[in-house]
Amino acid sequence: MRSVLSLLVVLVIVFLSYKLYFSKMGSENSGTVTPVQTIDVVGVKNDLLAIAQAERMYQAEHGAYASLDELASSGALTVRRSGRDGYTYDVETSSDSFRVVAHCPPAASGCTNYGIDQSMEIQAAP
């Protein structure tokens, strides 16, 4: 009987810890991020990585960085989108660098712009 009571106490502690952990996680995200929004952001980040990789390939072949249209027409870019789920992509190039920015939809509140450059690290962009 004593072991059953001990097991019950452990289960209550685990349940309360579990509930506290997930309620705290939801408050950090302000409760407004849906699974669909998370999937959209992951897709945008994957697109940014694909565009950055295409820029690197294009630069290796042509000795310069290219616009989004030039990447698509040369075959270096397999992503045929200029955006995803309201995000729009913009490529800024110079002679020795590039920066790709995914801009949030104008009507979206709490949305984050993302950018990537030749370092291949995705970061929040202004």
Same-domain pairing of 13 and 57: no
- Residues with Cβ within 8 Å of 115's Cβ and at least 6 positions away in sequence, in order, are 48, 99, 100, 101, 102, 122, 123, 124, 125
CA 115 to CA 20: how far, in whole Å? 34
Neighbours of 93 (CB within 10 A): 18
Same-domain pairing of 25 and 87: no
Same-domain pairing of 18 and 78: no
Domains in the chain, number? 2
Say which amino acid occupies 6: S
Q: What is the pLDDT along the chain (126 residues), one digit of tens a residue?
A: 788 888 888 888 988 888 777 665 554 445 466 776 777 788 889 999 999 999 999 999 999 999 888 888 888 887 766 677 788 889 999 988 999 999 988 777 778 899 999 999 999 887
Same-domain pairing of 66 and 118: yes
This model's pTM is above 0.85 = no
Same-domain pairing of 67 and 46: yes
CA 48 to CA 65: how far, in whole Å? 15
**Domain housing 6:** 1-31
